[in-house]
Amino acid sequence: MYNIKLGWEIILKELACPKATQDLELNTKNRDAAVKAEHIQYGPLNLEDEDYWERYAKRWNTTADVAKQSNCSNCIAFDISPRMDKCMPLTTDEDGRLGYCWMHHFKCHSARTCYTWAKGGPIDDDKTSKENQMRGEQ
Among 84, 87, 114, 123, binds ligand SF4 (CB under 6 A): 114
User: 56: which residues sit within 8 A by CB, 6+ positions away?
Assistant: 41, 64, 67, 113, 115
Q: Measuring CA to CA, which residue among 31, 128, 120, 32 is closest to residue 76?
A: 120
CB of 1 to ligand SF4, least distance (A): 30
Q: Is 104 in the site for ligand SF4 (CB under 6 A)?
A: yes
Closer to ligand SF4 by Cβ: residue 5 or 119 = 119
What is each CA distance from 14 to 10, 76, 87, 124, 126, in whole angstroms? 8, 22, 13, 17, 11
Q: Is 42 in the site for ligand SF4 (CB under 6 A)?
A: yes
Closer to ligand SF4 by Cβ: residue 84 or 108 = 108
Q: Is 67 in the site for ligand SF4 (CB under 6 A)?
A: no
Closer to ligand SF4 by Cβ: residue 130 or 132 = 132
Between the CA atoms of 108, 18, 79 and 109, what dihedral angle is there, to the nearest 10 degrees?
Answer: -10
Q: Is 80 in the site for ligand SF4 (CB under 6 A)?
A: no
Closer to ligand SF4 by Cβ: residue 57 or 108 = 108
Q: Is 75 in the site for ligand SF4 (CB under 6 A)?
A: yes
Helices (H), the chain: 4-12, 19-22, 24-36, 50-59, 64-67, 82-85, 126-137
Interface with ligand SF4 (CB under 6 A): 42, 72, 75, 77-78, 101, 103-104, 108, 113-114, 116-117
